Every structure is written in structure tokens, then in C-alpha cells.
Structure 1
Amino acid sequence: MIPNVWNRMVQERWDMDLFYLPKRVRNKGKEPVPFETMDVDRFGESKVISKYIQTLQDYVWWISLQIKQTYDLIHCHHPLVALAFKHCYPQIPVILTIHSSYETELMLNDQITRSGPEKEFLTSIYREVEKKVEVITTVSHSFKRYLSQFVMNPERIRVIYNGFDQTIFRPSEHKNGVPQLVSLSRLVPAKGIDVLIRACAELKRRGKNFVLHVIGDGMAREELHQLCKQLNVQEETIFYGYVLHPHEFMSFFDIFVLPSRAEAFGSVFAEAALSGLACVGTQVGGIAEQIVHGETGLLVPVDDAIALSDALQKLIDDEEYRQKLANAGREYALKHFSLDRVVKEYGELYRSVLEGNKTRQSN
């Protein structure tokens, strides 16, 4: 989404650079970055916390090395990036958009505990960025409620939904003899693909015909392969691994399904809806703000394979209902998640922050 927003704003005569922080930078930063709202030493020794702090130092090193000019405004899309830029350029106003919860995914993937120091540190970062940046935005009202637990002034957090270039998603008329289900995500426990496989095993037990296409890769891939074999759905399931541009062929499937255990927004649902697919998701986070149950898609409880199989069966059995939901879901996505809308809202935010900064400088 971010390169598309950047490209559109440049077309609208914003003088804007797009800056990436590469993953290959490791252990280069040596300059300590002070925290104003917490004592990092109190969290003790932790590989996760040490890696997070080292990454922040690496970002400061990379920014100092690469950026040779000044800016009127900086918009960051990760808390560490915002802290790094604010450290390097304390006088420049910074907007931060928080897209997801790193700590939630680590907990769901059993990499940290709910009561451990890592969660406390990671959630304390939200208070630190609130202290330092001018504006925080996030991608759903649900995720704003989550963030509100950890900041002093939650009413200042703005919600700006993600936006997508509708021109790259092209629904196509097609007739699949067997309903084609597709799921697109990283293969990690947080995404609930194991629940989807169990739901598909139930569909097979009921005598339903389908093919499940799983696009993506990750730490749980081998485990999911084994689960398909255990539940006897390996013949119905195709694992693709990582695919560079899945939107190019998404419209040839019939049903998009992703039973996530947590999702701040869930961009793949908007992308699937724009591609003309009927969508099935869980009643969590931003998914429930994209799908109006029974009108633009179907929602099921988290970790409920039977409820998921029931929802999928409705769409498999009733092609007319499936198409009705797909059409309504696409119209909803076009109205609420367009690139035009997010560019307009970001533009208004930029002007507001720039004007406020001018006023402060003149006083």
C-alpha cells in the first residue's frame, strides 16, 4: 500500500521521498538511543528486547548514513522507525502509523509469554512514541482500542483505514466446476491456517467437493503439511509458498478465507473483496470492520473449525449467495478502502501538522 500512496501523492504534487530501511542491516548501530518514558534496564536480559534495541540503533545508523537533506514532515510506518527518525531529527514533526501488534503475534506464535518482560517492553514502546511524535494514526477502530491501554491520551489517536489501488484488482467472470478456496498469509500460528485445515477436513467428511489453495510461507509450513496428511485433506490442498504478485490471479478463485487469531486490519480481505471473491474471516480486529456479517461476507468465532466449516459450506452450496456476498463486498471495499480516500485523508493530516508546526515556530 505505501508505495501506491507515495506514487499517488507525488502525482498530486507533493514533493515526497520514499525511504526504506533494509532488513540486511544488522548490528551496525552503536549509538545509544535514550528512552524518556521507561527504564529499559528494569526488563532484564532478553533476546527479544536486545534485538529490538539493536534494531533501533541500526536504524539510527542507517538513517544518519543515507539521509543527506532535511524535510518539513516525516511519516513513519513502524514505531521503531519513528523513534529512529525522531532521534536523528528532533525538530521535524513525525507522524506514525501503527499497522500491527508485534507483541500479539509473538505471543500467538509462542515466542513470548503474556506475563513476561518482552510483552511489557513492547507495549511500553507505544507510550514512548506517543511522547515523541506529533501524531499517531492506526488502521482500525479495534486496534485503536488496543493501543489505548498503553498511552496517556488515546483520544488523540486517529484512525485512517488502509487504501488500495482498485485498478490492479480485476474481477473476472469464470466458472469453476469445483469451488476454489484460497487463503493468503504468512504461515504462522497467528493466522489460524490450522483451523482452516480442520474445517476443510470437516467439509470433506460431509461430502463437499472443494480445492484449498494456500499462498504464503512461514515457520508453520511443515506442521501444516503434516496436519493435512493426518486429516486426509492433502489431495484437496495445494501449498504454493511465497508468491510475488498474487493479486494477478486472485480473481480466478471463488472464496477467500483466513481464520486469523488476531488482525489489526487484515489488508488481504480488502484485496480479496476488490478481486471479486466472497470472504470468510474471524470476528477479530479490523476484519470485523471490513466484513458486515451476512451482507458483505461471513464472520466466525476464532478457533472454531466447525463454525468455519458451516460458513464455507453455505458458500459452497449456494453459488448465488456466494456471488451476492462477493458483489456486496467489492462495493463496500471500493467505498471504504480506496486509494483515493486514504490519499485524501493523509493529505489533510499532513497539511494540519505542517500548519501547526509553522504556528509553533512563529510563537
Structure 2
Amino acid sequence: MKLLQALFFPPEQPGGVSSMIPYLQERFKAPHWEMELFSLPKRIRSKGSGPVEFQTFDWHEFEESPIVQKYVQTYRDYLWWTRLRLQRSYDLIHAHHPIAGLAMKEVFPETPVIQSIHSSYERELILNGRIEENGLEHRFLTSLYKEMEHKTDRMYTVSRSFRDYLSPYVTQPENIGIIPNGFDEKRFKPVPHENEVAQLVTVCRLVPAKGLDILLQACSELKSRGLNYVLHIIGDGPIRKELEELAQRLGIYDETIFYGYTLHPEEFMPFFDIFVLPSRAEAFGSVFAEAALCSLALVGSEVGGIAEQIVDGSNGLLVPPEDPIRLADALEKVIVDPAYRYELARSGSDYAKNHYSLNRVVHELKKLYLQFDR
């Protein structure tokens, strides 16, 4: 069976999709399986041309928006690159981005296309203050969900909560399946260690949607309570300078280390003690599963896919979003009680291995793919 995994970002980019898809190839071996990966290189810009039409809505109603114009041009570029680079036929295409799925169905109309939706671009833009809810961009991006439902052969997403989010924008939400991301356990190597001072870590893109302002406020509260800790922030993004200035104003800059972007944070994440990320929204939150597999205690906000990964008090701690005091309370519990922290970490690791192993996802995908085997 000839399979194509159609990504948007190159597979070496950080994020949930890239943490799973490149590791699938070694699990889909010949003679029955033949798998390729495809993505749009960063250097491809403004190459595509020609009219773009969608079957379920008229995108020209939104074209005065520069964000919509850029999105449609990226779709043209993906089409151009697909037609240039892919000459062979496939038995099945699995797309992991709306642009990828719509482009593949345009170029290969007779080939079954499975569409997985891993996150919400419009929700990220709203939370990051770049677009308005119900504005042109929001309405354009949410219209794409019904277009994907109309054009592709099967739709999947990564969590129950994200399927609920998609429901108002499609005709038959009950037909959307759920396949959580999976992780290759061999990538994660927990290291026994004893840190005299609790080491907190977060890994994310530095954007408002991740709630790092709330985390810094919570850490300021911890310091006012006389608790010792070090906060390690791994990642980069447009609000890094703003966060560094906030840490200085709150008097916790000495306790906070900004690393910038790191390609493989899982290589040194096991040396920390507590993973914390108070996101304002997450479709799945792959980094929580990755941190659990590194045997870190988890503290996260009770939103989206995070709340589906963490059973509060059993394999991690959940707190309401936008609440630095409740976050500080949760962090204090795992800072002052190493034994409790260890139990949460052990339970979190067991849960992640049982629910989010790559083997489990591969098994589900093989069953799915064989439904299209001619």
C-alpha cells in the first residue's frame, strides 16, 4: 500500500505533528507498506498563481484581510509545489494540515484523503491578539472545516474537546474520529536525580496563548511565600522580550532562565522535576505527554486536550486558566513534597505509555488505512 503523509511544516519543525509523523516510517515497513513524507519548504513563497475556488463558501468575501490573502497564497504555493514534486500515484493520502488536505484532493481527486486536524489556527490568532473573534479572518478559517468535510474522505482530530470545538463548523460532527498523537518511547530516557532546589520547566512557543504571563505571576507568588525554585523557559517567540521584562518587574528574573529555541528539549528535560504550562487553549498538548514520558510531574490548565491527559491529583495537577494563585498553590504542593511529586510523575509516565504510545497509534492507523486498501 502506497501511503503519503502530507504535512505543512517540514518534519524537523517542533510541535505535535512533527513529534509523531517522522517516526511512523520505520513502523510501516515493506512489503505491505510504502510510506513517504511530504511538506512545503520554507523557501517556497509566492510561487503559486491562478484562481482559487472553494466549493462550500466564497473566500472572496474575506479577501480584504491580509491574513486571508496570505493564507490563500500559501495554498496556491502548496498546490504549485505538490504538482511540481509529486508525479506518482498513491493508494491513500493522510493530510495533517487543512492546506495540505485541500491541496492533495485538488491534485489527486481520485485518491482517498484522510484529514487530521491537530490544532486551531484561528483560535491561536485570537488568543495571540492578532484577529478578532467573528471577524473576517475568523469566519474564513472556520469555513475551511466544512470545506474539508465536503472534500476529504474521512476527518480526524486529536481529542474529544477539539472535536467539540469543531462541531459547530461542520455538518456531521459525529463522523469526526479521534486519534491522539503518539510518541516513540525510545526518545525519552528518564534520569534518576535529586535536585536540592525544585526545577520547573516549560517548553512552548512564546506567544500569549500559552499563558506564560500567568506562570510568571504564579512564580512571583511562590517567591513571596519563601519557596525556592528555578524556572526554565525553553522556546522562543514574539513576546520573549515582554516576558523577560515581566520577570524583572516581578522580581523573579534571577530565578528564571530563558533558553530560546531548542530542537530536542526531550534530551535534557529528564533532569528537571516539574513540567508546567498554563495554556489558554490546547487541542491536545503534546508536550505534556512528552514531559510525562520523561517522568516529570505535570501541572497544567484545565483546558482542551490537557484536561484529557491529566486526571487531577492522580497523574498530575489541573488548575483553572487565568488564575496565578491557584497555579502557585498547585506548584507549591509538588515543590514542598518530593514524595508526592514522584508519585505524580510515576503515574503520569504510566498513563502516557498506556494511552499515547506510538505503537498504539500505529495499530489504530493501520486498521484505518486498511479500510482503503483496494
Q: What TM-score comes out, normalization by structure 2 length?
A: 0.94
The alignment's C-alpha RMSD in Å is 1.0
State the distance in 1 between where 2:31 and 2:186 align: 18
Matched, 1:210 2:229: yes
Q: 2:301, 2:320 within 8 Å by CA — same for their partners in 1?
A: yes
State the distance in 1 between where 2:86 and 2:362 align: 25
State the distance in 1 between where 2:29 and 2:321 align: 41
Q: Which residue does the alignment assign to 1:145?
A: 164
State the distance in 2 between where 1:110 and 1:35 align: 27
Deviations 1:221-272 (A, max 9, x none): 0000000000000000000000111111111000000000000000000000
Gaps of 5+ in 2: 1-19
Q: Which residue does the alignment assign to 2:362?
A: 343
Q: Show the 5 A alignment for 1:161-176.
A: 161-176=180-195
Task: Kindly state the Cα deviation for residue 24 of structure 1 after the two structures are TM-superposed.
Answer: 1.8
Q: 1:33, 1:87 within 8 Å by CA — same for their partners in 2?
A: no
Matched, 1:134 2:153: yes
State the distance in 1 between where 2:209 and 2:30 align: 37
Task: Kindly state the Cα deviation for residue 14 of structure 1 after the two structures are TM-superposed.
Answer: 1.2
Q: Which residue does the alignment assign to 2:352?
A: 333
Q: What TM-score comes out, normalization by structure 1 length?
A: 0.96
Q: Which residue does the alignment assign to 1:181?
A: 200
Q: Which residue does the alignment assign to 2:248?
A: 229
SS at the partner of 2:48?
A: coil
How many residue pairs match? The answer is 355
Question: What amino acid does structure 1 have at the position aligned with 2:155?
Answer: I
State the distance in 1 between where 2:34 and 2:59 align: 38
Task: Kindly state the Cα deviation for residue 81 of structure 1 after the two structures are TM-superposed.
Answer: 0.6
Deviations 1:106-148 (A, max 9, x none): 0000000002111000000000010000011100010011111
State the distance in 2 between where 1:353 and 1:260 align: 37
Task: Kindly state the Cα deviation for residue 177 of structure 1 after the two structures are TM-superposed.
Answer: 0.5
Question: What amino acid does structure 1 have at the position aligned with 2:250?
Answer: L
State the distance in 1 between where 2:372 and 2:132 align: 38
Matched, 1:324 2:346: no
Task: Kindly state the Cα deviation for residue 20 of structure 1 after the two structures are TM-superposed.
Answer: 1.8
SS at the partner of 2:347?
A: helix
Runs of 4+ with >2 A deviation: 10-13
1:193 to 208, 212, 218: 212
Matched, 1:23 2:42: yes
Question: What amino acid does structure 1 have at the position aligned with 2:142?
Answer: T
Structure-2 change in CA distance of 1:31 and 1:255 (3 Å)? same
Deviations 1:43-68 (A, max 9, x none): 24000110111000000000000001
Matched, 1:72 2:88: no
SS at the partner of 1:118?
A: helix
Q: Which residue does the alignment assign to 2:291?
A: 272
State the distance in 1 between where 2:30 and 2:265 align: 26
% of aligned pairs identical?
A: 57
